[in-house]
Every structure is written in structure tokens, then in C-alpha cells.
Amino acid sequence: MVGATGRVTGKIGPGLVGEVLVHVRERRSTEAFLAHPAVPGEVLAVGTQVVVVEYQPPRTVYVAHALG
């Protein structure tokens, strides 16, 4: 899960629990996860491409801007 890429579908930021759609290779699907910023205070707008930095089962991820 860590290293998987996705796209923000619900704004992520301080005091907000956002949402991301992440491509899960093992399941060959795209799934929704609750998301928090990996960098404290960072705001990630809807549509931002992100990478999963930390995964907390069952459905929570910490994400950062994807490079490129």
C-alpha cells in the first residue's frame, strides 16, 4: 500500500479528513480511503495526485504530493 498513487477526491488539510482514490495493484482496483496529509499543515486540493506515505488499516492513509 505504501508507495501507491492516487488522486484526492475530498479536500485534505488541517482539521479535515479528506478522501483519496488509490490504485490497489494487489486487487487490481481503485478504492476510496480516508486521508490525512503526511506533512502537518499541508492542504491538498481535489484533483491533486498523491502518493501513500503511511497506511493504517482498514481504510486510512497519510498522503503527500506525488512527484512529476
Dist CA 48 CA 46 (whole Å): 6
Q: Tell me the per-residue pLDDT of 14-68, one tens digit each, with 9 for 90 and over.
A: 889 999 999 987 778 999 999 999 999 999 999 999 999 999 999 999 999 998 6
- What is the CATH topology of the domain spanning 5-65? OB fold (Dihydrolipoamide Acetyltransferase, E2P) (2.40.50)
Whole-angstrom CA distances from 28 to 23, 24, 31 are 7, 6, 10
Mean pLDDT of 7-14: 96
User: What per-residue confidence (pLDDT) applies to 68?
Assistant: 63
